[in-house]
Amino acid sequence: MLLVLDVGNTNTVLGVFAAAESAKGDNPQFERLVANWRVTTILPQTVDEYGVLFRNLFAMDAIEVSQVSGIVISSVVPPLDSTLRQVCERYFDLKPFFIEPGVKTGMPVLYDNPAEVGADRIVNSVAAFEKYGGPCISVDFGTATTFDCVSARGEYIGGVISPGIGISAEALFGRTARLQRVDIRKPVRVIGTNTVASMQSGLYYGYLGLVDGILELLLAEMGSECKVVATGGLARLFGDGSKYIKSVDDFLTLEGLRIIWGRNAAGRPRHAESRQTGVPRPLAGDSAPSPNTANPAGTASGRPAAIKKAAAEPKPRSSR
C-alpha cells in the first residue's frame, strides 16, 4: 500500500492506495484509494502525537501499518517536514518521499522561478491534466484558493492565488464587534432578512463572484475549451454554484501524489529484506548507481537510499 499526505496550513489530508489485484512484480501500480482522512494541521504536535494519530486512523479502517511500502508527502508547512519525516521513520519504518524542486513530475514548469510554486499546486496540476486532459484549470479551495493553469501540451504555465473563504470570513468576524460567527453555506435567498442570513449571503455569493470572476478572465486567455476542475474542503459548496466549474474532484491532490510517486518509483529495484525499499528511485538528472560500485544503495536527490545494513537486518517495528 501507498500512504499519501497532503499537508496544508489548515488541514492535512491522508490517503491510502492499494495495488490493483492483478498487479505483479517489485513495483506495483497503486490504483485503488481504500481509505482517506482529514485532520487539523497542528504545528506544536510531537512526533509521537502524530504517530499515535496516524496509527489510530489506520486502526479505524482495519489497515495494518506493515502493509504500507511507500510514503509520499506534499507539504506547504516547512516547520512540520522534519516532524513528519521522523513519524514515517519511527512508526512506519520508511523514509518518506517529499514533493520538492527537482522531483520528476512529468510536467514542465514555466513559472519565472519554478522553485516558488507550491508543491500542492504542481500535484493538483499533474492530476488534473492526467485525468481531464488539457488545457485545464484546477481550483483548490484551501486556506488560500489557488487557480492553476496547464496548457494543452501539459505545461504548468502559472495561475492565481487569492485569500481563502475562511480567511475572508475570519477578517469579517474579527474586525466587526457586533457580527457573530456564522456557518459558511449557500443561503436560500440572496436577500437576507436577518443578520445571520445577510452575512451568509455576503460570504457565499461574494466569494462565488470572486471565483467566477477570476475563472472568466482565465478562460478568456486559455480558451473556451479549457476544462475547470475544483478540489479542496469547500469545493462542492462553490462548485455547484459556479458557472465555470464543471467537475469537482475531492481526491485530486491525493491522486496527483499517487501519480508522481509512480513516475519516480518505476524501475527501482526492491529488496524484500528491507522496508526501506519504499523510497523511489533516483530522480531525473541523478546518475543511476552501478551494481559494481562500492555503494550499491546509491542516493536520490541528496537523500540516502537503503543501506546494506538495513537490507540485511530489518529494523524492528516500534510497538508504539
Q: Take residue 81 and report the three cell numbers written for it.
A: 517536514
Q: Take residue 202 and report the three cell numbers written for it.
A: 455576503
Burial class (CB in 10 A: 0-12, 13-18, 19+), 25: exposed
Q: Looking at the DSSP assignment, which residues form a beta bridge with residue 12?
A: 7, 39
Indicate which residue of 6, 93, 120, 140 is catalytic.
120
Q: Take residue 180 and report the three cell numbers written for it.
A: 457573530
**CB-CB neighbours of 172 under 10 Å:** 16
Q: How many CA atoms lie less than 13 Å away from 32 in the CB half-sphere?
A: 8
Radius of gyration over alpha carbons of the chain, in Å? 21
Does the active-site annotation cover 120? yes
DSSP letter at 194 equals S
DSSP letter at 92 equals S
In single-letter form, the type of residue at position 9 comes to: N
Q: Looking at the DSSP assignment, which residues form a beta bridge with residue 231?
A: 140
- The 3-class secondary structure across 229-297, one letter per residue, is EEEECCHHHHHCCCCCCCEECCCHHHHHHHHHHHHHHCCCCCCCCCHHHHCCCCCCCCCCCCCCCCCCC
Residues classed as catalytic: 120
